[in-house]
Structure formats: structure tokens, C-alpha cells
Amino acid sequence: MRKSWLVIRPWQLPLSFRLERHVPSTLLVLSAVILAVMVLSVGQGEYPIPPLEVLKTLVGLPTANPDYPFIINTLRLPRTLVAFGVGVALGISGTILQGLTRNPLVEPGIIGVNAGASLAAVALIVLFPNVPLFALPVSAFVGALAVAIFIYLLAWDKGSSPIRLILVGVGIAAVISALTTLLITFGEIDSVTQALVWLAGSVYGRSWEHLRSLLPWLAVFVPLSLVWARQLNIISLGDDIARGLGMQVEWQRNLLLLTSAAMAGAAVATAGTISLVGLMAPHLGRQLVGPNHEGLMLTAALMGGLIVVLADWLGRILFAPIEIPCGVITATVGAPYFLYLLIRNRKR
């Protein structure tokens, strides 16, 4: 009987943590940096609040100004937490796609997964402007999943090839972007304005309700991505080796593609199109913990969260009081980084 790697035993999950002792310390330091940046971000705005007062408010201690709890807990903290959650989702989605395609230049936006989520969400905003907030992540997930399945079917030829997935995805992304533009062109002005602001990629005005709509997706698919990290390691070695080790490659690839689409869809639905986080976070994670996905998955998730929180913070302080959407910041930084990776990989 062939051994199936789909059977996950509880003691297998932290395997890389035992083999790579630097992973826990890296995660601890990265978490401390994230907390420090989040405190600074929460205190920054039109009404600056010192970091010590932010900490006092968060732990429930008396503050120097009675307005601090309202400003922090109602206006700024949910926005920062949403930014972190969106970054986590994008970091995981990009890590999975790079592992599946065995291509370090792939991310959800490049192969069309983000485009599918954007099309579904824009269609909901433009055609059904009065739908409840919780419907947006669902529609974006359906859009991302539908596009992922469509790309997978078009790339199928006696099996799924990573290079075909990429090429088909790039073409599908272009078509879907055109359809999204068409929807915006013929939509009502109020809905179109909302859609355009949303497409820029921003966590402006995000509330606890937005965070509550994002958390179920993270609660389900983040653990699944960690559990399936070992399978992604094996797939990254090549289909022939994976089959030789007893893995049901196509079935496992489908599950991982579903997880990636869910993460990308939830992120796009919550904050719009935040570009290239799914490209940068896995690469920065590899520089910290190496290519083993059991350690990389969580590292890239935290790195993605840090990138989006930093982008939102910079967007508020660079040209204050004008706010730059965090999607613009990540695109501005990510585009040169993408070119750097492209040149570096061509030289290899």
C-alpha cells in the first residue's frame, strides 16, 4: 500500500522547528518588531498619541487624556489589526503559489487570483451596492477560487505543469482586469467611486466589523497552510519525486491552490488590491529561516503582516495630512524589488 502524505500526524507539524533551532527565535524577534510597529502605528495620526499612552490604553490603565481610549480602540486599533491580518493572508497565499509553481517570481496578483477576487468584489459593489459587509469576502473568495480553478483546467494536459499555470494565469489576469475596468466604466458614479478607492488597496476606515469578517478565513486557512507545509516541501522537489514518495500530487495541489485562493480572496475583499506583498513576504522569509516551508510559512505570514502595517503607517505620515493608500506604498516598493529578483534569477 502506498503511503499517503495527506495523513497528518500531530507530531509532524513542528518538525522543522526541531530541526531548525533558529526558527523559534526568529519568529519571536519578528513578533516583537511587529508589536512595536503596531504600537507606533496606532499612535500616529492627525491626533498623535505617545507610545506609552498607547500601551496604557491597550492594557486598560488610566491615561493622560480621556479621549485616548476612543481614538485608539475605536478608530485606529481595528485598522492596524486589519492591516496585519491582510498581510498574513497575502504572505501565506504567495508562499503557497511560489511553492506550487516552483517559481520565486509568482504571487497572487501576477497569475490572476487577485484579479478574480477583485472582479467579484467590484461586481458586488457596482451592481449590488446595498449588500451586507460579510458578503464581500464570500464573493471575493468565490471569484478567486473560480479563477484558480479555471486557470488549473486550462493548464491541464495529462497533469498540471507549473510553467503552464503561470502562463495561463498571466493571460487570464489581463482579461479579468479588462472586465473589471468595463464594470467600472458603466457603473453608477457613487458605486464606481467606492470601487476605485477600494481597488487602490487601503485599510482606511476599517473597523471591528471588517476584522470580524476577516478572522474566520484566517482561523480556518492559516492552520491548514501550516499543516500542509510539509506537503508543499515535497511538491517543491518535483512531481516525480513527490509521487515516488507516495503523495497524491494533483489532489494535494488542488487543496493548496484552494487555500491560496481563499487567503487572497479574503485579503482582497477586506482591503482591496494590495500589490506584491505575496511576492516580497516569502522572499524576505527565506532570507530569515531558509526554504523549508514548515518554518517559512509562518515567517512569511508575519512578514506579510509587518509589510502591510508598515505601508499603512508610512502612507499616513509621508504626506500628512494626506493619506496614501497602503497598496500604493507596497506597489512602489515592490515593483523595484520584483525587477531586482528578475535580474538576479536571470543571472543564475
Most confident stretch, 110-119, 136-145, 329-338: 329-338
| pLDDT recorded at residue 92 | 95
DSSP string, 240-293: HHHHHTT--HHHHHHHHHHHHHHHHHHHHHHH---TTHHHHHHHHHHHHH-S-H
Q: Is residue 1 part of a domain?
A: no
45-70 confidence digits (pLDDT tens): 778 889 999 999 988 888 888 888 89
Q: Who has greater pLDDT, 188 or 89?
A: 89
Map residue 160 onto helix, strand or coil: strand
Q: Who has greater pLDDT, 95 or 10?
A: 95
| pLDDT recorded at residue 4 | 40
Q: Who has greater pLDDT, 316 or 236?
A: 316
Q: Is residue 101 part of a domain?
A: yes
| pLDDT recorded at residue 160 | 59
The values of phi and psi at residue 160, to 5°, are -100, 125
| pLDDT recorded at residue 6 | 39
| pLDDT recorded at residue 13 | 40
Write a three-state SS string for the chain: CCCCCCCCCHHHCCHHHHHCCHHHHHHHHHHHHHHHHHHHHHHCCCCCCCHHHHHHHHHCCCCCCCCHHHHHHHHHHHHHHHHHHHHHHHHHHHHHHHHHHCCCCCCCCCCCHHHHHHHHHHHHHHHCCCCCCCHHHHHHHHHHHHHHHHHHHHCECCCECHHHHHHHHHHHHHHHHHHHHHHHHHCCHHHHHHHHHHHCCCCCCCCHHHHHHHHHHHHHHHHHHHHCHHHHHHHHCCHHHHHHCCCCHHHHHHHHHHHHHHHHHHHHHHHCCCCCHHHHHHHHHHHHHCCCHHHHHHHHHHHHHHHHHHHHHHHHHCCCCCCCCHHHHHHHHHHHHHHHHHHHHHCC
The conformation of residue 156, written as its DSSP 8-state character, comes to B
Distance in angstroms (rounded) separating the CA atoms of residues 258 and 299 = 21
210-233 confidence digits (pLDDT tens): 899 899 999 999 999 999 888 888
pLDDT at residue 25 tops 80: yes
| Angle between helix 135-154 and 113-127 (nearest 10) | 140
- Domain span at 132: 10-346
What are residue 156's DSSP bridge partners? 160
Domain count, the chain: 1
pLDDT at residue 14 tops 60: no
Q: Is residue 4 part of a domain?
A: no
| pLDDT recorded at residue 161 | 65
Q: Is residue 47 part of a domain?
A: yes
Do residues 201 and 271 touch, judged by C-beta distance below 8 A? yes
- The arithmetic mean of pLDDT across residues 79-93, rounded, is 95
pLDDT at residue 171 tops 90: no
**What CATH number is given to the structural domain containing 146?**
1.10.3470.10
| pLDDT recorded at residue 275 | 83
Q: Is residue 3 part of a domain?
A: no
Mean pLDDT estimate for the chain: 83
94-112 confidence digits (pLDDT tens): 999 888 888 888 888 777 8
Q: Is residue 271 part of a domain?
A: yes
| pLDDT recorded at residue 192 | 80
What's the predicted TM-score (pTM) here?
A: 0.85
Q: Is residue 323 part of a domain?
A: yes
Do residues 175 and 293 touch, judged by C-beta distance below 8 A? no
Q: Which of 2-6, 175-179, 202-206, 259-263 has the lowest mean pLDDT?
A: 2-6
- The arithmetic mean of pLDDT across residues 114-123, rounded, is 84
Q: Is residue 328 part of a domain?
A: yes
